[in-house]
Structure 1
Amino acid sequence: MNTNEVSKLLGVSPKTVLRWITQLSLEIERTPLKHYRFSEEDVALLQQVQEQLKNGTPLQNMKIHEKKVRKAKAANKPSKDESKMYDKLVERIEHLERKLSTKADDVVSYQILQHRNEIEELQSVVCELTQQIETLQTKLEVASQADCFLAFDEAASTEKSKKKPFFSTLFRSSKKEAQTN
């Protein structure tokens, strides 16, 4: 039984049970987690304490008839059942840690695969953009060469128009006026 169960059985608070144990220096068995574990003898002893208190005996003057040998030292060694349970718990914790580690590795692997796919997609986009830039540069070079030829042709045509005699430009303009009328 634990402290709460004993306190309910006796009809007192758990703090009262703990106070009785400390003030009377009772040797009660403890678990590995330092919680009290009460045997039937311990409960009977606490019932005696309660009866003496009801009869008006102060806690300091109380006489305790204790039949048992100290259990506190024996409590440090866990029983076979407790050690088996402890071993099972440790084994289960290790198993869960391995599963958790495996799960974390799987998540990281998946993330790496996703990043790799994204990098490959970005590389293909970069290749396409590089090809488009090269195409545009080629078109620009062709266009600039064509502009050079056009500029050269315009310069040549203006030189030819300057060499025409004055009268031919006059007659040409009069021919244009006659055609429009």
Structure 2
Amino acid sequence: MGKKSWKTREIAKAIHVNPSTVQRWIKYFNLAYNVNSNGHFEIPNETYKQLKVIYAEMKQGKKMSDVCLLGGDKEQAKSKKVTMIPTTQVEKKMEELLSQLDHIERKVRNKADDVVEYQILHQRKEINELNQVITQLSARINTLEDQLVSNTTPSTRPLRETSGKKRRLSSIFSF
């Protein structure tokens, strides 16, 4: 098989897997490949050989994390795959994240307080405007009451009204 490069579909047929499986293995094991102008994988011979090894080991029932590509040196393969992060580094990152979270919570609380303060000020302004309207209406009512009282004095207003018959009778007998 002296080809310069393979297509994903060709390798998939050769090792009896789905083309998407070939792409997944290439990405998982960080194997060499090129992408042509149409976006298709072009796979070199060396990668094809590595994919055949992966297929053989997967066929034996191994997990992808247990597949060894470094010529059988399992210790070197494990040391390459397993990287432990020191606890102090993880704790430091957690403290940074918690600090950022506290900072964000404070900002949210401040923003909420600002919103409530704005609403209260706006409501206070509306209350003041309503108080002014009430004061104006009260003054207007007082003015109208004063005008009503001044237009109707006790001398011009009759104490009791008498009917027209009684007046005629009283005028006849008053002579």
Q: Could you state the TM-score of these two structures normalised by the residue count of structure 1?
A: 0.46
Q: Could you state the TM-score of these two structures normalised by the residue count of structure 2?
A: 0.47
Q: Which has the higher contact order (CA 8 A, sep 6+)?
A: 1
